[in-house]
């Protein structure tokens, strides 16, 4: 592993360059979305269908084009959008781990990624699923199953949750990367331990203003892409089947959630690239990796830290004789 020869060049980038690089990453690592994100999102998507699918299904028996169905359909659209927003960080754990390793290794194995997701399940599920309100929102909808639309429960509560999540993610967007890639513990046994809270403060605090601006820009752009994806699916169905009606079960139960999840997968990649850029700006990460790479070449070992890929640390633990052999080889070369 050459830390200064990464598959994504570690350097400062403008906001527009991050957008271009995200498209390149999708093309170069399509399995990160087609396998990783689908694997992480499928369970959430099915649960969403169970929690909310009864609304359009029930209204379809009376007619979805009816004026009385407008409130129920709007309720379905609002809650489905909010659930996907809340669930995206947790659904993207496979993609985050895969691409975090792919920066250093050309093709990390899915077996390793799956084992890491399982090993860290309690930590990321608690933070990304519970504390960031994905699970509480789903529990609320479970208790509201079969109930009529309400202005308080289906308008005020979703809006309050959205505002809270927006403020949190705008200032603390990199929780998945801190948990999964840096593997910072939630609690420390001593003051010297860098917990997730300490790491989050040091990483987000100095750039809170810029991170908020980037979050707002990305949110607006992704919102436009959701609309584009949705109308593309409608256009494809209209061209192939000659059916252009918007208000039917296929559109509400398949096309709309699918458009949301497609863009959610792209947002995971954009967030990861913003994380790399933030570390470079604050910590001079490109210089650090170059120094560590030279240390590896000269001495064959280095002190492990949070930037080291977990797989390689495990490999060093399993085969302690390998660094020694490498040190001897480098020593002979220098002589």
For residues 213-239, give the mean pLDDT: 95
Q: What 3-state class would DSSP assign to 233?
A: helix
Question: For residue 8, is it within any domain?
Answer: no
Cβ pair 195, 144 in contact under 8 A? no
Does 329 have pLDDT greater than 90?
Answer: no
Q: How far apart are CA 176 and CA 271, in angstroms?
A: 9
322's tokens: 């390998």
Question: For residue 158, is it within any domain?
Answer: yes
Give me the pLDDT at residue 264, please.
97
* pLDDT tens column, 53-91: 999 999 888 888 787 788 899 999 999 999 999 999 999
Number of domains in the chain: 1
Identify the domain containing residue 208 by its residue range.
15-281
Instruction: Give the rounded percent of residues in the chain with a pLDDT score beyond 70.
Output: 81
260's tokens: 């949301």
Question: For residue 294, is it within any domain?
Answer: no
Q: How far apart are CA 285 and CA 277, in angstroms?
A: 9
C-alpha distances (whole Å) from 205 to each of 65, 179, 306 are 49, 17, 19
Does 325 have pLDDT greater than 50?
Answer: no
Cβ pair 258, 81 in contact under 8 A? no
Does 128 have pLDDT greater than 60?
Answer: yes
* pLDDT tens column, 145-163: 999 989 999 999 999 999 9
> At 96, is the pLDDT very low, low, confident or very high (cuts 50, 70, 90)?
very high
Question: For residue 240, is it within any domain?
Answer: yes
> At 292, is the pLDDT very low, low, confident or very high (cuts 50, 70, 90)?
low
Question: For residue 3, is it within any domain?
Answer: no
Report CA 136 to chain centroid distance, whole Å. 19
> At 216, is the pLDDT very low, low, confident or very high (cuts 50, 70, 90)?
very high
Question: For residue 314, is it within any domain?
Answer: no
Minimum mean pLDDT among 17-31, 109-123, 158-172, 309-323: which range?
A: 309-323
Question: For residue 244, is it within any domain?
Answer: yes
Question: For residue 186, is it within any domain?
Answer: yes
Give me the pLDDT at residue 314, please.
36
* pLDDT tens column, 29-50: 899 999 999 999 999 999 999 9
Q: How far apart are CA 127 and CA 118, in angstroms?
A: 15
Give me the pLDDT at residue 53, please.
95
Mean pLDDT of the chain: 84
Q: Among all chains, which residue has been given the structure tokens 């407008």? A: 70
């Amino acid at each position: 592993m050459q830390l200064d020869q990464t598959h994504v060049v570690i350097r400062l980038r403008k906001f527009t360059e991050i957008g271009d690089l995200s498209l390149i990453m999708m093309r170069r690592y399509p399995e990160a979305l087609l396998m990783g994100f689908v694997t992480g999102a499928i369970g959430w998507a099915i649960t969403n269908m169970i929690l909310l699918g009864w609304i359009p299904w029930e209204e379809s028996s009376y007619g979805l084009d009816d004026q009385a169905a407008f409130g129920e359909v709007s309720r379905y659209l609002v809650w489905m959008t909010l659930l996907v927003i809340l669930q995206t960080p947790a659904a993207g754990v496979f993609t985050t781990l895969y691409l975090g390793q792919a920066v250093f290794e050309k093709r990390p194995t899915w077996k390793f990624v799956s084992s890491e997701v399982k090993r860290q399940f309690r930590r990321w599920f608690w933070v990304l699923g519970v504390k960031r309100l994905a699970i509480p929102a789903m529990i609320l909808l479970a208790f509201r199953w079969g109930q009529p639309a309400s202005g308080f429960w289906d308008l005020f509560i979703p809006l309050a949750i959205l505002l809270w999540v927006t403020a949190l993610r705008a200032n603390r967007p990199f929780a998945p990367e801190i948990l999964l890639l840096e593997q910072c513990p939630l609690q420390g046994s001593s003051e010297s331990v860098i917990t997730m809270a300490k790491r989050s403060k040091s990483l987000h605090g100095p750039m809170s203003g810029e991170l908020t601006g980037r979050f707002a820009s990305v949110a607006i752009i992704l919102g436009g892409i959701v609309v584009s994806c949705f109308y593309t699916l409608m256009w494809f169905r209209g061209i192939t089947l000659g059916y252009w009606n918007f208000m039917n079960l296929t559109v509400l139960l398949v096309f709309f959630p699918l458009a949301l999840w497609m863009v959610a997968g792209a947002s995971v990649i954009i967030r990861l690239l913003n994380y790399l850029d933030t570390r470079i700006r604050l910590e001079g990460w490109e210089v650090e990796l170059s120094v560590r790479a030279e240390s590896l070449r000269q001495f064959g070992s280095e002190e492990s830290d949070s930037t080291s890929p977990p797989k390689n640390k495990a490999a060093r633990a399993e085969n302690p004789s390998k660094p020694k052999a490498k040190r001897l080889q480098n020593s002979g070369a220098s002589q």
